[in-house]
A and B are shown apart, each in its own frame.
Chain A
Amino acid sequence: MSVADNMAVSVNSNPPPRAAAPADQLVKPLAAVVRPQRNPENRRDLFATAVVVIVMLIAMEITSRYVPDYIMPSPVTVWAAARELFFADPYHVGVTLIRLTAAVAVAMSLGVLIGLAMGTVRWIRPYLKAIILIDTGIPALSWMLIAVFWFKNPETRIFFILLVILLPFYALNVYEGVRALPKDLVDMIESFRPSRWQVLRYLILPHIVPYIFLTTKSVIGYAIRMVIFAELVASAVGIGARMNLAQSTFRIDQVLAWTFFLVILNLVLQAAVNAVEKVTLRWRAEAVVR
């Protein structure tokens, strides 16, 4: 099977929606007035999710009785496959997770640096902006093919693909964050006649932290899809590679099992980022909008 065929399997490379500037979340004069509350929506959401999952499982089970196994296996078969994969192949899960974490961490660091440079160094701004604009216009697919031409090492390929795809999100959002700095606060800190480094440390860096979280939350699902995609193209190990193998050996139960696992992984990672955010941004008033 050729690379191009594999690409056609999942053309879900539409980027996540650009994060809205959380500036008004930061400066919420009302926030102090609104009393923080336990969100009753959480429980309702959980219930709705459970209902949807159960309905889907029932639908799968019913369909599986009328169609052959290679079209739709029963949830029981998928569950068995999932257990087998998970206990037989934890190595592949680990590899994918490490690739994902490393790429996100580097994209975050570089993206923050580029965003800060765009926001604070006037003459660099148009150049970096142009680069990022061009980058966001390049389809993920092109980067994958280019990576295959440019790099021999599969790890380099995957890392490169993820980096060029994720970097612009961080850079642009951090840039927006710097631009959204309230002028009042800039004037305030300037009144103490600080060094540039002090302005960065006391004002700009803490101000962009929420933007970094926002970006991470909005790219995480996309990053998971992309790492799988990249592994399918460029590597023999990792979840993407295993899914490729499952497909070529007609094991739809395994494909579904991996899919199921990826959905869970996305939820877990989102929850983890949310938890870290909650602790880091505890200074923010929790407003309940009715």
Chain B
Amino acid sequence: MIDNLIEVKGVTKSFGSYLAVDNLSMVVRRGEIVVLLGQTGAGKSTVLNLIMGTTSPNSGSVRVAGFDPHDSFKALKGRLSVSFQTDRLLPWRTAVENAELGLLILGVSKPDARRRAKEWLARVRLDGADDKYVHELSGGMRQRVSLARALAIDPEIVFLDESFSQLDHVTSGTLRRDFYQIARELGKTCVLITHRIDDALEMADRAIVLSQPAKIALEVHIDDAARADPARIAELHAQIAAAMGGEESGS
């Protein structure tokens, strides 16, 4: 079994003459929750796309579970999923039909997919809205559907691209805690992409701060002992904020 589920080695990516990722190396281990921080435009989403294999690096290598995610695109079918920054639900499908989409693509039979999607909707606490269309759901409910869709395929690695940042503070807070609990319970490997330092301090095993263009500015380990110590948390907060270069956005 490969222990480093994600391995990024010396990756450079530019768009035309614009350098977005600069010789980035990082590793994500099985079962780890890693938070990727950085200011807007730092290249966080680009790094996600590289790991997802939807773009390929100019140089360097990316390995996910031993595969090149771009060249062996189909080999990773069912092993990764993403909950995007915006909910990205299909408007012509109901909540449960959206939640089952990944399962159907993986070839799970219709009744099975329906059953599992319903279970996941209950698990992310979307109650009694299974058969509503997207326009009938609130923003928070949509995010829950999107989360259920990502988790329902039972992937090895889950990505969250700033998923909850568009919601109000209370909603995003409960949603984030729900997600955190589920991820921990299932022992999933998670990469969370955000510009909120609080997210990192609350749920991550490790925080990686990217500077612009994306390369590692700071990497810190966080554990429950640190979380229990307000002074330590304040110190980490200050360190991360400094590495991100100026004030934190979105919090």
Residues of A within 8 A of B (CB): 26-28, 31-32, 184-185, 187-194, 198, 202-203, 206-207, 209, 281-285
Contacts and interface: CB of A to CB of B under 8 A. Distances in A.
A198 B136 contact: no
Given A192-B101, A284-B135, A206 B90 contact: yes
Interface of B: 52, 54, 73-74, 76-78, 80-82, 84, 86, 88, 90-94, 101-102, 104-106, 133-137, 153
Contact of A191 (B80, B86, B135, B136): B80
A191 B91 contact: no
Contact of A190 (B54, B133, B136): B54
Contacts, number: 66
A26 B84 CA distance: 20
B90 A185 contact: yes
B73 A193 contact: yes
Contacts of B105: 189, 192-194, 198, 202
Q: Which applies to chain B's interface (DSSP): helix, strand, loop or mixed?
A: mixed
B52 A191 contact: yes
B82 A191 contact: yes
A190 B80 CA distance: 11
Given A184-B86, A202-B105, A285 B135 contact: yes
Given A206-B90, A283-B133, A192 B84 contact: no
Which of A26, A185, A193, A198 has the largest count of B CB atoms less than 10 A from its CB? A193
A84 B145 CA distance: 61
A202 B104 contact: yes
A283 B106 contact: no
Contacts of A206: 90, 92-93
Nearest to A191: B82
Given A191-B52, A202-B105, A32 B135 contact: yes
Contacts of A191: 52, 54, 80-82
A24 to B, nearest CB: 13
A194 B104 CA distance: 10
A192 B153 contact: yes
A192 B102 contact: yes
13 contacts: A26-B91, A184-B88, A192-B77, A192-B81, A193-B78, A193-B105, A206-B90, A206-B92, A209-B92, A283-B91, A284-B91, A285-B135, A285-B136
A189 B84 CA distance: 11
Contacts of A187: 54, 84, 88
Nearest to A282: B133
Contact of B135 (A31, A192, A193): A31
A35 to B, nearest CB: 11
Contacts of B54: 187, 190-191
A286 B160 CA distance: 31
A283 B133 CA distance: 6
A188 B101 CA distance: 11
